[in-house]
Structure 1
Amino acid sequence: MRREPPRRPADYLPIAVPAAVLAVFFLVPFGIMVAVSFFRRVQGGFYEPDFVLANYARFLTPFFGRVLGFSMLLALLVAVLAVALALPFARRLARHSHRAQVVWLVGLLSVLSLSEVLIGFAWSTLLSKTAGITNVLVALGLMAEPMSLAPSFGAVLAGMVYQAFPYAALVLYPSLVRLDPSLEEAARTLGAPPLKAFLTVAVPALRGPIASTTILVFVFALGSYLIPQMLGRPQHWTLSVLVTDQAIYQSNMPFAAAMAVFMVLACLSLIALSGFLARRTGDRP
């Protein structure tokens, strides 16, 4: 079969509705947000139309630099840990029977159905002093008395990795299913241990999907909002939390819009890079 290019206006109808939805619910709000990011904040009021660069100039302040650096570092750490955990899990899942794969995939999808609020409350309970995991450690004699593990950076990291893990596993799973198992078997036949065969044969063959998955999880973690607030302290808040704080509590909508524009452009750039890597390695396993 050969793909024919559209010749009549009616041939564009299948994409007309998605294009209209994209324009109404993304392009128009994004255009308004870009315009507001150049407005001037009015003391004691809200903002007024203008064209000033002061909102973007605040990106160069030490405070914003610390928040941006922490958000980027946290998102990168979450992406690396989630992919590192999801890669062996998805590899093992690809070796199971079809029925077992279906069960595990349904389980991963059920985790995705949980809202960020439920995940945050579940982890806050698990890490609490009264009903948390430290009570189990005390009962086993591993701790003297229970203690609260949240709020802390470790709690934020654990909650975000838990939330991002199903995404990473589901994205890596198709590539691992298509990977020829005889590659690792050949390496093991030549004397390589199972772990070394996996790291030296399978991982290099999947470097494109691994890089794309890491970028996608990084973008997902960069927009995390509730978990850093529920499991962390103010110094652990991400850029998304700061946007809400500036827009609602500080009544500085222009600066909040400027930060949101920066985040959207950064995420779109990373998604474009992920798509480029996927196309470049499309002919590989």
Structure 2
Amino acid sequence: FTYLLTRRPRRVQTLWLVGLLSVLSLSEVIIGFAWSTLFSRTAGITNLFVAIGLMDKPVALLPTFGAVLTGMVYQALPYTILVLYPALVRLDPTLLEAARTLGASPVKAFFNVVAPALRNTIVATLIMVFVFALGSYLLPQILGRPQHWTLSVLITDQAIYQSNMPFAAAMAVFLVLISLALVGMTLLVGRRENAL
């Protein structure tokens, strides 16, 4: 999406970026309850599917893993786009033109020219979104079941509701170690790329 956005006229890019920034102004609570309404049986999207004949009767689409995933993607997508956007704007368009001139299809040109040029940015974005998802707290509780909860929710559950502080502390240390390992991987990839 970000790649296609950078190929649009400047005015279209500005409108999309303003829209993305407006999504960032929403809290996790608002996002969670908006998606729970959309996935509900009474006021949800399945009523639209019934109206156009795709379904026989409305059903609730939550609490499910798909609902949690949809909410978390909706929350993380603007961050992803805003991190990738500057690198894609700075990418020299003549590289793609050269690949197309040499006979590469648009998909092949993207994967052989754009993706390798943005490897560091893509890795950093993936790690950022993964750490962001690890810390997601409200969306898994609003849209999912306990088996869909993230580590931060499980830590809170163990510490406060189960009164199992040692296990909660062990999970918290595990979460910190995962985060530090990901930051270390990012630094390692960056150093190796700079050495080349």
The two structures have a TM-score, normalised by structure 2, of: 0.92
Q: What is the aligned partner in structure 1 of residue 68 from structure 2?
A: 156
Unaligned runs of 5+ in 1: 1-88
Unaligned runs of 5+ in 2: none
Q: How does 1:219-234 map to 2 (within 5 A)?
A: 219-234=131-146
Asked if the contact 1:209/1:278 (under 8 Å) is kept, the reply is: no
Moved more, 134-143 or 185-194: 185-194
Q: How does 1:228-267 map to 2 (within 5 A)?
A: 228-267=140-179
Structure 2 residue 56 is matched with structure 1 residue 137: no
**1:282 Cα deviation from its structure 2 partner:** 5.3
Q: Read off the aligned partner of 2:48 and give its amino acid letter.
A: V
| Bigger relative contact order, structure 1 or 2 (CA pairs below 8 A, ≥6 apart) | 1
**1:275 Cα deviation from its structure 2 partner:** 3.2
Q: What is the aligned partner in structure 2 of residue 103 from structure 1?
A: 15
Structure 2 residue 88 is matched with structure 1 residue 205: no
RMSD between superposed Cα atoms in Å: 1.8
Please list the CA deviations of residues 161-200 of structure 1 after superposition, one character each: whole Å capped at 9, or x if unmatched: 1111111111111111111111111111122221221122
Q: What is the aligned partner in structure 2 of residue 169 from structure 1?
A: 81
SS state at 1:150 partner: coil
SS state at 2:29 partner: helix
Structure 2 residue 27 is matched with structure 1 residue 115: yes
The two structures have a TM-score, normalised by structure 1, of: 0.65
Moved more, 210-219 or 98-107: 98-107
Q: How does 1:171-186 map to 2 (within 5 A)?
A: 171-186=83-98
Q: Read off the aligned partner of 1:111 and give its amino acid letter.
A: V
**1:283 Cα deviation from its structure 2 partner:** 8.8
Asked if the contact 1:212/1:278 (under 8 Å) is kept, the reply is: no
Provide closer, same or farther for how the CA distance between residues 100 and 276 of structure 1 changes in structure 2, counting only shifts above 3 A: farther
SS state at 1:147 partner: coil
SS state at 2:178 partner: helix
Q: Percent identity?
A: 69
Asked if the contact 1:225/1:240 (under 8 Å) is kept, the reply is: yes
Give the structure with higher Rg (CA).
Answer: 1
CA distance in 1, matches of 2:18, 2:187: 26
**1:250 Cα deviation from its structure 2 partner:** 1.4
Choose the corresponding residue for 2:99, options 158, 164, 187: 187
Choose the corresponding residue for 1:274, options 170, 183, 186: 186
Choose the corresponding residue for 2:108, options 177, 192, 196: 196
SS state at 2:43 partner: coil
Q: What is the aligned partner in structure 2 of residue 73 from structure 1?
A: none
Structure 2 residue 130 is matched with structure 1 residue 215: no
Provide closer, same or farther for how the CA distance between residues 111 and 279 of structure 1 changes in structure 2, counting only shifts above 3 A: farther
